[in-house]
Amino acid sequence: MTSQPPSALPAEARRADTKTSAASSPRKLIPLTIINTIEEKPLPVYGTGLNVRDWVHVEDHARALELVVRHGRPGESDNIGARAERSNVAVVERICDLLDGRRPGVLGGSSRDLMTFVPDRPGHDRRYAIDPSKIERELGWKPRLGFDDGLSMTLDWYLTNRWWWEPIRHQRYSGTRLGERQRRLA
């Protein structure tokens, strides 16, 4: 039996920043903001809300992974980014604006009125930086969905699939801020 050096193993590392998608954990920023806005509950924004993430839609992320599996080089690493950096507060504001365009705002006002700045969680990263130039250059990958398109698809999914998130929300996760004691509602 011959052994190959570790560099010849077909192992690959793929890194992406934050993804937008349907059926994401209700604890994450986008689903939490959408659900809280639908239920007209406070929208927690950590610290100043200036934490920055590069948002890539999960369909684009899956396309990138498929491309890497088919055409990538074993042992290589790739960063999958959409070049769609947004601060958390900008994401929350955009969700509010998109939802207000689909239905009346909170008590006739703007859903932005639900935004509540809360103390930042300990160790919260200020910025996740992804440089996707290698996967763009070597494999020709670019996202097909822009930030607003991916966010709109995600928002529409949560609006039409309450059957999926309501049991989670009412039985396992009440939407309280992470780091605080969670109470079971069941």
Q: What is the DSSP annotation of 23-74? A: T--TTSHHHHHHHHHHTT--EEEETTS--EEEEEEHHHHHHHHHHHHHHSPT
User: What's the CA angle centered on 53, arms 116 and 111, to 5 degrees?
Assistant: 30
pLDDT value for 103: 81
Residue 78 or 106, more confident: 78
pTM of the model: 0.85
Our count of domains for the chain comes to: 1
Cα gap 124→127, rounded to integer Å: 9
pLDDT value for 112: 95
Least confident of 61-65, 66-70, 119-123: 119-123
Cα gap 147→91, rounded to integer Å: 10
Per-residue confidence at 181, pLDDT binned at 50, 70, 90? very low
183 domain-assigned? no
Domain housing 41: 11-161
On whether the CB atoms of residues 27 and 178 are closer than 8 A, the answer is yes
On whether the CB atoms of residues 80 and 56 are closer than 8 A, the answer is yes
Model pLDDT for residues 102-154, shown as the tens digit of each residue: 887 666 789 999 999 998 878 878 888 889 999 999 999 999 999 999 999 99
pLDDT value for 104: 72
168 domain-assigned? no
On whether the CB atoms of residues 19 and 61 are closer than 8 A, the answer is yes
142 domain-assigned? yes
Confidence check: pLDDT of 3 > 60: no
| 162 phi and psi angles, rounded to 5 deg | -60, -30
Confidence check: pLDDT of 12 > 70: no
185 domain-assigned? no
108 domain-assigned? yes
pLDDT value for 182: 41
CATH at residue 88: 3.40.50.720
Strands of the chain (E only): list them: 13-16, 18-20, 43-46, 52-57, 77-80, 85-87, 115-118
Rounded mean pLDDT of the chain?
84
pLDDT value for 63: 93
Confidence check: pLDDT of 9 > 60: no
